[in-house]
Chain A
Amino acid sequence: MDVHLRILRFNPDTDTRPHFEDYTVDADPTERVLDALNTIKWYQDGTLTYRRSCAHGVCGSDAMRINGRNRLACKLLVKEAGTNLVIEPLLGFRVIKDLVVDMEPFFASYRSVLPFLINDDQAPVTERLQSPVDRERFEDTTKCILCAACTTACPITWTNDEFVGPAAIVNAHRFIFDSRDQASSERMQILNQKSGVWRCRTVFNCTDACPRGIQVTRAIEQVKRGILYGDS
């Protein structure tokens, strides 16, 4: 069937501002939106530019706005998306070209929350023990693929460059609630600053946007409670 795609284009070498271009592709309803983009790029207009890699929702390359919502283009089928698509880059980051945005600020926020296990004790010869119950406390936030769908769906990040954003908090949560980690209080101190969790207004856009189904807002609330009540 014919699918019409209206794509926001911007080439820094030739354009002063972004503009929409229209394409029509013949797509099977079970194809991914990414397949439709590939059809354009490979057979109609080789200048169309976007990131992509795994094509099945695990690498996080192709987050973009599709009909106003942040989605992974490889995890949305044409039959769900409909035959008229408006595709734009993620909001809140500088557009490099077409659907490619500058991810550096996103990864800088991620790095700021110490996203790695900190445990200065001598490691045992075999594994550190962890009960299934303890592991379950941070299971949900281990799923993050750093696609930035949540952070760029958050209205706070659109207007406030300082806010670390939901993805960074998710990755802090992943360690704060890991029984093997020893730096929870340090991370919570970082997130207790004005760039941290208190910027969150519990809008739930992040949770809606997450292609991995992470309960992002709940994770942020758990970190807030951790800071308030020392619960981690």
Chain B
Amino acid sequence: MYHRFDVVIVGAGGAGLMAAAQLAGKANIAVVSKLYPTRSHTGAAQGGIGAALGNIEEDHWVWHMFDTVKGGDYIVDQDAAEVLAREAVDAVYELEHMGLPFNRTPDGRIDQRRFGGHTRNFGEAPVRRACFAADRTGHMILQTLYQQGIKHQVNFFNEVMMLDLLLTDDGVCTGIVGMDILTGEIHVFHAKAVLLATGGFGRVFKVTSNALSLTGDGCAIAFRRGLPLEDMEFYQFHPTGIYRLGILLSEAVRGEGGILRNGKGERFMEKYAPTLLDLAPRDMVSRSIFLEVRAGLGVDGKDFVHLDLTHLPREVIEEKLPDIADFVRTYQGLDPVHDLVPIQPTAHYAMGGLPTDVDGRVTVDENNTPIPGLYAAGECACVSVHGANRLGTNSLVDLIVFGRRAGKHMAQFIQHNDLHSLPKEPEFRAEAEIASYLENDGTESAAAIRTELQDVMWQDAGIFRTGAALRQLDAALAELRHRFTRVGLRDHGKTFNMDLVETIETGYLLDVAEAIAAGALAREESRGGHFREDFPNRDDANWLKHTLAYRTSGGLKMRYKPVVITRFEPKERKY
């Protein structure tokens, strides 16, 4: 089936829906999601959205910008970080005006709380910057933005999975191809502008906080079409995942006073981050946990430590962290009011992704040359505001600020640009891919390949990395990709074929894994979420630059682009 729109937005999480809200009434838009929009993973975000409103105590956007740059270990593009911190304030008010039910101060303003790495006066002490709706801030953002979509009668194409990105020979984006999961039918969406807002790819790792559907679809498809992926080696491992399940326990737990303790009951963050303690940035806390475990100081000598909330008043836990208390009760059978909670780091967030400028335009080279008509925002994009390590709350800020900017820019773009013709047989590649899976009588199982992929990525491209392990990983990934060419399905039907969906997703995961592994092997330094035991120091002389990974006929090629530095010269990162 053929559709024509001004703008097609792929992904209905915070970034996609925020962009849609800007375009509503100004353009004919479609929002395409492989889920129902309210299932998007923005809804799982818990703790808050950072903005220097200063409702509780003095705060300034430039402090937020500084924290973002420092938190990202100085490989943040500072022009973008400035936009993020400045516009966060208006974007949060815009969400409130749309109806978002923030928690309130006694005088009726938006309440704010502490979060890791957010400080006053350039690192002096924690500041209350995170605006929140209990511990389901992401849920409320997602619901509020979906409500706006309903209000503005946006065309939602639910349970339609993107399979291809349409680019003309002269490098203009003219649409996408998708598959209606319900019927298996192929849909061509022809548009003046496309926004990729497809989210992250945490499912590339064994232990993750990410939803099963987070398989890097937009990144992988663009990568296959020859577009670069930026800084894929920077992946965030959140310190506090529920032991073994990886389900996130928000940093808000520590923002409200929760403490990490090792097997001996010691508050071990005193050793690693004497000022910010448990609220140090996530990469540092995750490594600290790992080092405690390695030193035999995990609980009972095992690979986890404890998150201690038992000193907090019951009301704080029930009123400010109700969902988290529910997760602990449901999945661990423990009561955080009385019991220590076993936690381990969990793969959480991709700092890297499709390179974009501050208006969400996808760029293709060291000079930030944009592709006309192609935009990206949210976790699948790399602006880069998170650098080597994202601060807590800044994912939601990123979605809202850059989803908004991409939406506004597209509204202008479609005014001044005509619809380009589609390439010939636009659905050809997508149809061929589907046919190859459905008709292949291969013996390899996508589930088995995916499980092995997750194991090797966790082992070799996880919190600690070495050149030797990454070279081994490279070989293992090549083997998995080879096996994947012989994948066979059990379900060959057209109707709601989730076997097919999961197989396609496994292919996407294999592609993003390749970019992560190659970027990590090339980057011979340690910075933020990327820690090389064989190169344990940050190396600004050689590595203060962004990775651009390209897939070419001769294998992956790495290029590098400079970091934008405006206000803050790189310094050693201490907390």
- A residues engaging B (CB < 8 A)? 11-14, 30, 32, 41-43, 45-47, 49-61, 75, 77, 96-97, 100, 103, 107, 110-111, 115-117, 123, 125-132, 135, 138-139, 142-146, 175, 178, 180-181, 213
Contacts and interface: CB of A to CB of B under 8 A. Distances in A.
Given A41-B498, A129-B109, A116 B43 contact: no
Nearest to B110: A127
Given A49-B496, A53-B39, A55-B247, 6 more contacts: A46-B447, A46-B489, A49-B491, A53-B35, A56-B247, A178-B101
Contacts of B496: 49, 96-97, 100
9 contacts: A42-B451, A43-B447, A45-B490, A57-B330, A75-B330, A127-B93, A129-B108, A131-B106, A135-B103
A103 B422 CA distance: 33
B110 A56 contact: no
Nearest to A106: B36
Interface string B257-275: 0000000000000000000
A142 B495 contact: no
Given A42-B447, A97-B495, A128 B39 contact: no
Interface of B: 35-36, 38-41, 43-44, 53, 93, 96-99, 101-110, 133-134, 136, 139-140, 143-144, 147-148, 150-151, 182, 211-213, 245, 247, 323, 326-327, 330-331, 333, 445, 447-448, 451, 489-491, 493-499
A24 B38 CA distance: 33
A117 B104 contact: no
A55 B150 CA distance: 26
Contacts of B144: 117
A56 B101 contact: no
Given A46-B491, A56-B247, A138 B39 contact: no
A132 B493 contact: no
A11 B345 CA distance: 40
B326 to A, nearest CB: 8
B104 A145 contact: no
A53 B331 contact: no
Contacts of A46: 445, 447, 489-491, 499
Given A42-B445, A47-B490, A56-B331, A96 B108 contact: no
Given A47-B491, A54-B44, A59-B211, A131 B104 contact: yes
A45 B105 CA distance: 53
Contacts of B104: 130-132, 135
Contacts of B99: 116-117, 175, 178, 180-181
A77 B93 contact: no
A12 B39 contact: no
A96 B182 contact: yes
Interface centre among B36, B53, B99 (most CB of A within 10 A): B99
B176 to A, nearest CB: 21
Contacts of A135: 101, 103-104
Contacts of A50: 498
Interface centre among B40, B134, B490 (most CB of A within 10 A): B490
Nearest to B332: A30
B212 A53 contact: yes
Nearest to A39: B447
A139 to B, nearest CB: 7
What 4 A-B pairs come out closest when comparing CB atoms?
A: A46-B490, A117-B99, A42-B447, A129-B108
Nearest to B499: A46
A70 to B, nearest CB: 16
A142 B101 contact: yes
A104 to B, nearest CB: 9
Given A115-B147, A135-B101, A145-B139, A49 B41 contact: no
Contacts of A42: 445, 447-448, 451
Contacts of A110: 150
B432 to A, nearest CB: 22
Interface centre among A43, A54, A139 (most CB of B within 10 A): A54
Contact of A53 (B53, B148, B213, B326): B213
A103 B182 CA distance: 12
Given A127-B110, A135-B101, A145 B43 contact: yes
Contacts of B211: 53-55, 59
A128 B139 contact: no
A127 B96 contact: yes
B146 to A, nearest CB: 9
B98 A117 contact: yes
A32 B333 CA distance: 13
Contacts of A55: 211-212, 247
Given A11-B493, A116-B148, A54 B133 contact: no
B96 A49 contact: no
A96 B495 contact: yes
Contacts of A51: 39
B13 to A, nearest CB: 11
